[in-house]
Chain A
């Protein structure tokens, strides 16, 4: 089954404690993204990756890091989380070569609370 998996689904942590949210896709997609979703602001792209070892900032990259060492995995790292990073996070992937119909497949989401 084609899917994007994220772990953990829920995470409560304290300010400053480093954390990693994992993301994996089994569709051999080149393009992967991380989004955060906040009420009234919609989905905002944090970082994206066009392919292995190629990452770039989205609209809200401050406080986040990513890496793309393998095509299937795209972890999101918060080196020193702060309360303003409390949000719902989604990982997504797409076959970027099909530009006319680049359907994004989303993971189930990770609800992060930073106290």
Chain B
């Protein structure tokens, strides 16, 4: 059973469109992270959200942590080809000593 479920698994959109990806769980977390992974590279941290209901913005990316701290979303406004990549949510090690990752959303932005 996957601790973190991400949706959609794949997303292909035109440049300039908006999109939202989701990370859901039945567990409560003290914090949650979003990473982006580009082909041939390791994941790179985008943001950590800590407080229930928190919204963080990173240029065109908006991250929200659910009020109950069980889920999170990532919204991209006016997607660009440079946004192409695999987006991963992760939690830990406050949940024991381990890190857990979601299955990821593979985003392709078409010019």
Chain A residues close to B by CB (< 8 Å): 4, 31, 33, 35, 40-45, 48, 50, 56, 58-59, 90, 92, 96, 99-104, 106-109
Provide the residues of chain A in CB contact with B35, threshold 8 Å.
104
Provide the residues of chain A in CB contact with B9, threshold 8 Å.
40
Chain B residue at smallest Cβ distance from A40: B103
Given contacts A48-B97, A58-B98, A101-B48, contact A41 B41 (CB under 8 A): no
> Are A43 and B50 in touch, CB under 8 angstroms?
no
Q: What is the number of residues of chain B that contact chain A, defined by CB distance less than 8 Å?
A: 26
> Are B101 and A42 in touch, CB under 8 angstroms?
yes
Does chain A have a CB within 8 A of B111?
A: no
Question: What are 30 A-B interface contacts by the 8 Å CB criterion?
Answer: A4-B42, A31-B93, A33-B99, A40-B9, A40-B103, A41-B103, A42-B103, A43-B90, A45-B98, A45-B99, A45-B100, A48-B97, A48-B98, A56-B97, A90-B43, A92-B42, A96-B93, A99-B93, A99-B94, A100-B48, A101-B31, A101-B48, A102-B92, A102-B93, A104-B90, A104-B99, A106-B41, A107-B42, A108-B40, A109-B40
Chain A residue at smallest Cβ distance from B102: A42
Given contacts A42-B88, A43-B88, A109-B40, contact A50 B97 (CB under 8 A): yes
> Are B104 and A42 in touch, CB under 8 angstroms?
yes
Chain A nearest CB from B78 CB (Å) reads: 27
**Complex Cα spacing A108 to B43, Å:** 9
Provide the residues of chain B in CB contact with A101, threshold 8 Å.
31, 48
Given contacts A33-B99, A42-B102, A48-B98, contact A100 B42 (CB under 8 A): no
Chain A residue at smallest Cβ distance from B9: A40
> Are B45 and A104 in touch, CB under 8 angstroms?
yes
Provide the residues of chain A in CB contact with B31, threshold 8 Å.
100-101
Provide the residues of chain B in CB contact with A96, threshold 8 Å.
93
**Complex Cα spacing A41 to B45, Å:** 19
**Complex Cα spacing A35 to B101, Å:** 10
Partner of B48, one of A33, A58, A90, A103: A103
Chain B nearest CB from A58 CB (Å) reads: 6
**Complex Cα spacing A68 to B69, Å:** 34
